[in-house]
Structure 1
Amino acid sequence: MHLKNYTVMGFRSLQNVRDIPVGSPTILAGHNDGGKSAALSALQFLVADYKLSEVDRTYESPAEGSKEQSQPRRCELTAVEGIFTLDPWEQSHFGLPETVLIRRQAGEELIGRLEYWARLPDDERLQDLSRFLVPELKTIVKELGVSTASSKRADLEAALRTYGIEHSSSMGWVQIPSELEKRMPRVLPFDGKAAKPDQAVKVALKERFESHVDDNQISGQLQELESEVKERLRIDAKSLCDHIHARCPDLTEVFVEPDVAFDYGFRGAPLKIARNSGEAVGLDRSGLGSNRRISLAIWEWMSELLEQESRTAPETTDDNATNEGPPPLQTIILYDEPDTHLDYKHQRTIMQLIRDQAALPNVNVVVATHSMNLIDGVDISDVVHLKLENGRTTIERLGSDTHHSIDLHLKQIAASLGLRNSVLLHERCFLAVEGDTEQQAIPILFRLSEGMSLQAAGIALWACFNNEGALHLASYLVKHGRSVMLMVDADSRTAAKGLFKVDRLIRFFGSREAVNKMVKFVGEPQQFNELEELFSNELWAKIANEIWPKSDPWLPSDFAELRNSRKFSTSVQLTLRDKSDVGPGGKPEMMYQLACALKRPEDVPTQLREVFAELRQAAE
């Protein structure tokens, strides 16, 4: 079985967080206490041996309109549901479809119950066969006239499950068969915050222990012993339950199900190190950086074992349905802030390790991190942003709507612009502009006008090659809930394709009000066509004499004449280049030098100052 994604309900701050992907890798990003570690623990609760505690249960939110209780209560049910895909062997062996919904849920008693959504047998006895002893199963088989392969418990249960599916009139949650439970993914957790190599050794060697136990030569012997001991304990438990029921007649039912598993015998393997011969040092006496490097070495070794397994494992094909042995289990590696306490060299090593592991067959990796290097090292669609809203975790995925044909184009634009994933997650506002001219001049003009940098204000500036690229990037960010402003020259109104006509812009941004708020046409209030026209003739002459001098002084009339040309900015740049020995080589250079030469906030054109003020407000 391969877990594709999972939904968490009633687990710490994750009151109802749906469809967390399990990818290759998946990056869980977000602020402290946003629910990243809780998401990893919830996954372990679903597929592994995580023991639920009282503090894991979410506090109930007060009903709307009711007075909040002085003593909040925990939720009644904690559940984690996962969508699993079954390989052909599992589909054939268990008689199940390719996709199965499985959940582990627990109530106030904190006892987890693993169930799957399936046909619900009309005979209630068949909905949970684990509570019956073998003699009782035989009685039910005989009563229903079911034929079985043998009188072993596994064959009895398999026959009754098949009968239950055939005699079912509804769907519901059914206790998962023990053999199917053994096909659940194995989880290897790596806690970077704890920095305990002992735990890493235990996880790594426990996995090898389980592999050895699964060896056919050993597993058969263990299963026989386990079944015999479990059956004897069931008989003892039945006697105990009968005695309790006799002494407590008010109880309608008393039931004890012994849980015996010989394959949980590995307890640990304490690790000691010595830097000098004969001088063993306890890990609790070593530095955090040293401990993390040791843990990293252990996980590199673990990665080599996983790679070796992938080379020797049989390929999963339709033919596997008839093979004797089942295909390999899915391995999910969980990293909780893996680069904590590591220097940059070792951070690069852990990043490469994660990439290598995620590339292995049957291996998926989920990483909870603050690391911008890790966040920026994957496709944005692989990043899950977890954040707290009113004390509860919400999920946000960017770039996941790939069914829309424009998304791929926009992601490519974002990649070519260097639009990092961490910027998408953490910047508070985005300013999309046309090209290099704006990208060079706007940061300087903003700092002069507002007294701070764009970065300090939480604003990300992105130049998009042309006005159409800026429009597409802005609409992409708006669609994913980002605060955005689009700044283009006023002559975009008459651009080809008519993309900047009001009705077309409304399609991109949703309403006329949104268009008026987010789209700024530079120069339009003054009936100009472009950014360069916002600066007065007097200012152009003053700056030109300072940085682009010619034989005779520049006059305001020199620039006034150029305003009658088809493209003012091109005419100014060519005139400065031709008449001055130090004239600018292009428009971006010209506007950069002009912006650097300005001295007072009042030198920044009024429309730009108004736009900058709106940007700051949007980023607050």
Structure 2
Amino acid sequence: MQICSVSVEGFRCLENVAGIPVLSQTVLTGQNEGGKTALLDALNFLLHGTALSEHDLTYIGTGDIRELAGDAVTPQARVPQTVVTGGFALNAEEQLRLGLPEEVRIRRRFRPEAGTFLEIRRRVCQNPELRDLAAVKLAGLKELAAAHRVEPVGQANARNSWEQPLRELAQEMEQVDAWVPADSEVTAALPTMVYFRGDAVQAPEAVIQSLLNSRLREYTRADEVAKRVTDLEDYLAESLKEDIDSIRSHIAQRCTLPSVELAPQVQVRPALVGVELNVMDSQGRRFPLASAGTGRSRRISLALWESSNELLGQHDATQAPESDVVFVYDEPDTHLDYSHQRRIMALIQLQSSRPNARVIVATHSLNLIDGVDISSVVHLRTHEGQVRAEVLREDGADKDVRRHLSTIATTLGFRNSVLLHERFFVAVEGVSETSAFPILFRKHAGFPIQSAGVCLWSGGSNEGALRFARFLKDHGRDVAFVVDKDSRTNQKRVFRDDKLKEHGFDLNKECFYLGSPNELEDLFTDDDWAETANALWQPNTERGPWQPEEIKALRVGKFSSQLLDLFKGGSPEGPKNKEDLMVGIAAHLPKDRIPAALTAVFDALVSRAQNAGPHLW
């Protein structure tokens, strides 16, 4: 049984976070105390039933809070609960064995006054009395049979004689989807979760205990071991018989009851309660790891993480099928240098390559965030006091953009960390602008364009870039375009007016136009170009220095192309392309000679960036 998604209600800072995907690799990012560890602990509660307390509950607002009473929703005053729901995928063998469809939802609930409940959403009889017959005592089965006029099919004192016809009746009645208690088989089929906490680098014993407990659960699921455990449970239940008889007699006597039934339910679940880890020094002296220093503890913890894939991947064909496992890392990069972070990245790749494994990593490390596909990143952000999850989905509009998002983002040079954290995205037409604008902007403003919150990117002639810009806008990112004036009607250009309007962009508010009259290169004077060319690209000796009059004569045609041909053909050191041309003049010109039309665009971009995001996707 493989987990595919998780939703959390009423757990710590997670008031209501729904539909978070759990992929082969999932990276959780977000601000400090933004819910990353809470989400991992909620997942641990769902899969392993870890104990919760009232301190883990979310108290919402000052009024009433919903309380689930069976399947009904009733208002109650200040009675919260925690509900963690997972979406799971079952393989063919599990579907047959458990009698469940390919996809199911399972949840675990906690209420202080009632305890913890594991439930599954499935098709059941509309009558609640006939849903969980296995948990009903023999006397209760007889009462149900009498109420529904059902006769036993065998001996009157045999449980199955009453349970079988009641089951057949339940199947004949109307079926509904409802949350019902999950049986022991469903519980045993849940994935194993191996939790590597951030503080585990200081406590390798905790890592070892988590790993060995996972293996212990694997061994317990084997048919032979499961039979031994069942026999032990039956033996212990039988051992309590005399004590039960004494209690029943005492209750019947004191309460004047004709009969009292008391059936013990004994459950044996092997668990590793502790691990003692000792090491030896070079002289052979033995001492606890706790006194060996944090440096050694960190190295041992990292080695244990790396060994977990091999340890949990061991499988004996004679045992039960290998169960699914979820590897969870809470800030594994803490106190690790870059080389060790690379080892963590390699470990994540290795573990996630297993068909029955999922890996979830909560981190602030840009190296880890940028090391996975953007579609694998879940960004948790606190907005108006509530934690929200920003995640790319395949539903809704622009499916094609979402499907190819990571390919387009890679083509455009975006890192995951940029997409998650930048506030203002400015699209230009080519590499000439992306190379020259940062140089000119820094001269004008006195600081880098990135520090102004402006993410500059080249759209070129890539149609996907325009759709990507629309995707960013649809998900709360501010987007603008800086376009040559001659591009507005040029059918060869992607950022022309009709295309921009077709994708929903406002030409007056989201587009800035450059050119005097046509393109960026026009803005610089004849003197600027002649002086730059003579300083950077020494002309052939036979022709002499370039003169402003030569530049002026080129402005009647496609200025940038003719300018490039002039300098490229007139000097062996001339610019090779338009990018070299623009970088040359951007680097050479002093601040006071940057065209006013260009500095006005820069100032407008800074103003837009100051008022932009960050917004929720």
Q: Which TM-score band (shorter chain)? A: 0.7 to 0.9
Choose the corresponding residue for 1:222, options 229, 242, 248. 229
Tell me: CA distance 1:22–1:467, structure 2 relative to 1, closer, same or farther (3 Å): closer
- 1:190-201 pair list within 5 angstroms: 190-195=196-201, 196-201=203-208
Tell me: CA distance 1:75–1:13, structure 2 relative to 1, closer, same or farther (3 Å): farther
Q: Distance in 1 between matches of 2:321 and 2:281?
A: 43
| Match in the other structure for 2:73 | none
TM-fit CA distance, 1:198? 0.5
Q: Is the 8 A contact 1:333 1:365 kept in 2?
A: yes
- 1:130-279 pair list within 5 angstroms: 132-133=136-137, 136-137=140-141, 140=144, 144-145=150-151, 163-195=169-201, 196-227=203-234, 229=236, 236=244, 260-279=266-285
Matched, 1:117 2:121: yes
Tell me: CA distance 1:467–1:4, structure 2 relative to 1, closer, same or farther (3 Å): closer
| Match in the other structure for 1:91 | 95
| Match in the other structure for 2:376 | 382
> SS of the counterpart of 1:112?
strand
| Match in the other structure for 1:538 | 527
TM-fit CA distance, 1:445? 1.0
The C-alpha deviation readout for 1:360-406, integer Å capped at 9, x for no partner, is 12111111111212111111111111111122110111375597234
Q: Distance in 1 between matches of 2:465 and 2:296?
A: 48
Comparing 409-418 and 100-109, the one that deviates more: 409-418
Tell me: CA distance 1:39–1:552, structure 2 relative to 1, closer, same or farther (3 Å): same
Comparing 421-430 and 268-277, the one that deviates more: 268-277
Q: Is the 8 A contact 2:34 2:380 kept in 1?
A: yes
| Match in the other structure for 1:518 | 510
| Match in the other structure for 2:8 | 8
Identity %: 39
Choose the corresponding residue for 1:618, options 598, 601, 608. 608
Tell me: CA distance 1:419–1:498, structure 2 relative to 1, closer, same or farther (3 Å): closer
Tell me: CA distance 1:24–1:169, structure 2 relative to 1, closer, same or farther (3 Å): closer
Q: Is the 8 A contact 2:24 2:357 kept in 1?
A: yes
Matched, 1:455 2:450: yes
Q: Is the 8 A contact 1:467 1:488 kept in 2?
A: no
Tell me: CA distance 1:409–1:185, structure 2 relative to 1, closer, same or farther (3 Å): closer
Q: Distance in 1 between matches of 2:45 and 2:37?
A: 12
| Match in the other structure for 2:29 | 29
TM-fit CA distance, 1:100? 1.3
The C-alpha deviation readout for 1:395-433, integer Å capped at 9, x for no partner, is 111375597234445532321233111111122222222
CA RMSD of the aligned region, Å? 3.7
Amino acid aligned to 2:27: I
> SS of the counterpart of 1:333?
strand
Q: Distance in 2 between matches of 1:114 and 1:44?
A: 13
The C-alpha deviation readout for 1:567-618, integer Å capped at 9, x for no partner, is 1111112212333454322211121111111222x42223322332233233
| Match in the other structure for 2:359 | 365
TM-fit CA distance, 1:9? 1.0
Q: Distance in 2 between matches of 1:39 and 1:153?
A: 43
Unaligned runs of at least 5 residues, structure 1 = 65-72, 248-254, 315-324
Q: Is the 8 A contact 1:432 1:473 kept in 2?
A: no
Amino acid aligned to 1:116: I
Amino acid aligned to 1:25: Q
Matched, 1:560 2:552: yes
Q: Distance in 1 between matches of 2:143 and 2:465?
A: 73
The C-alpha deviation readout for 1:319-342, integer Å capped at 9, x for no partner, is xxxxxx864321111111112222
> SS of the counterpart of 2:59?
coil
Q: Is the 8 A contact 1:198 1:270 kept in 2?
A: yes
> SS of the counterpart of 1:361?
coil
The C-alpha deviation readout for 1:216-259, integer Å capped at 9, x for no partner, is 33321211222454588799599689969x99xxxxxxx99977
Q: Distance in 1 between matches of 2:363 and 2:171?
A: 44
> SS of the counterpart of 2:451?
coil
| Match in the other structure for 1:607 | 597
Choose the corresponding residue for 2:586, options 579, 595, 599. 595
Q: Distance in 1 between matches of 2:490 and 2:199?
A: 54
Q: Is the 8 A contact 1:498 1:504 kept in 2?
A: no
> SS of the counterpart of 1:182?
helix
Comparing 134-143 and 220-229, the one that deviates more: 134-143
Choose the corresponding residue for 2:419, options 410, 415, 424. 424
Comparing 12-21 and 168-177, the one that deviates more: 168-177
The C-alpha deviation readout for 1:195-231, integer Å capped at 9, x for no partner, is 2101011011112222333333332121122245458
Q: Is the 8 A contact 1:58 1:75 kept in 2?
A: no
TM-fit CA distance, 1:452? 0.7
TM-fit CA distance, 1:308? 3.0
| Match in the other structure for 1:321 | none
Unaligned runs of at least 5 residues, structure 2 = 65-76, 256-260, 611-617
| Match in the other structure for 2:69 | none
Tell me: CA distance 1:147–1:271, structure 2 relative to 1, closer, same or farther (3 Å): farther
| Match in the other structure for 2:111 | 107
Q: Distance in 1 between matches of 2:328 and 2:564?
A: 57
Q: Distance in 1 between matches of 2:444 and 2:290?
A: 54
Choose the corresponding residue for 1:413, options 405, 408, 427. 408
Q: Distance in 1 between matches of 2:45 and 2:156?
A: 34
Q: Is the 8 A contact 2:2 2:191 kept in 1?
A: yes
Comparing 499-508 and 156-165, the one that deviates more: 156-165
Q: Distance in 1 between matches of 2:38 and 2:156?
A: 44
Q: Is the 8 A contact 1:197 1:291 kept in 2?
A: yes
Q: Distance in 2 between matches of 1:274 and 1:390?
A: 53
> SS of the counterpart of 2:568?
helix
Q: Is the 8 A contact 1:237 1:257 kept in 2?
A: no
- 1:398-409 pair list within 5 angstroms: 398=392, 400=394, 404-409=399-404
Tell me: CA distance 1:405–1:150, structure 2 relative to 1, closer, same or farther (3 Å): farther
| Match in the other structure for 1:328 | 322
TM-fit CA distance, 1:21? 1.2
Q: Distance in 2 between matches of 1:159 and 1:208?
A: 41
Matched, 1:78 2:76: no
> SS of the counterpart of 2:20?
strand
| Match in the other structure for 1:18 | 18
Q: Distance in 1 between matches of 2:12 and 2:262?
A: 29
The C-alpha deviation readout for 1:464-489, integer Å capped at 9, x for no partner, is 34364543332232233322222222
Tell me: CA distance 1:190–1:230, structure 2 relative to 1, closer, same or farther (3 Å): farther
TM-fit CA distance, 1:186? 1.1
Comparing 409-418 and 144-153, the one that deviates more: 144-153
Tell me: CA distance 1:542–1:384, structure 2 relative to 1, closer, same or farther (3 Å): same
| Match in the other structure for 1:529 | 518
Tell me: CA distance 1:328–1:225, structure 2 relative to 1, closer, same or farther (3 Å): same
Q: Is the 8 A contact 1:37 1:368 kept in 2?
A: yes
Amino acid aligned to 1:81: T
TM-fit CA distance, 1:23? 1.1
Q: Distance in 1 between matches of 2:317 and 2:530?
A: 76
Q: Is the 8 A contact 1:238 1:256 kept in 2?
A: no
Choose the corresponding residue for 1:585, options 576, 584, 602. 576
Choose the corresponding residue for 1:295, options 291, 301, 307. 301
Q: Distance in 1 between matches of 2:525 and 2:249?
A: 94
TM-fit CA distance, 1:8? 0.9
Q: Distance in 2 between matches of 1:16 and 1:189?
A: 23
Q: Distance in 2 between matches of 1:584 and 1:231?
A: 92
Amino acid aligned to 2:206: Q
> SS of the counterpart of 2:414?
coil
Q: Distance in 2 between matches of 1:588 and 1:392?
A: 46
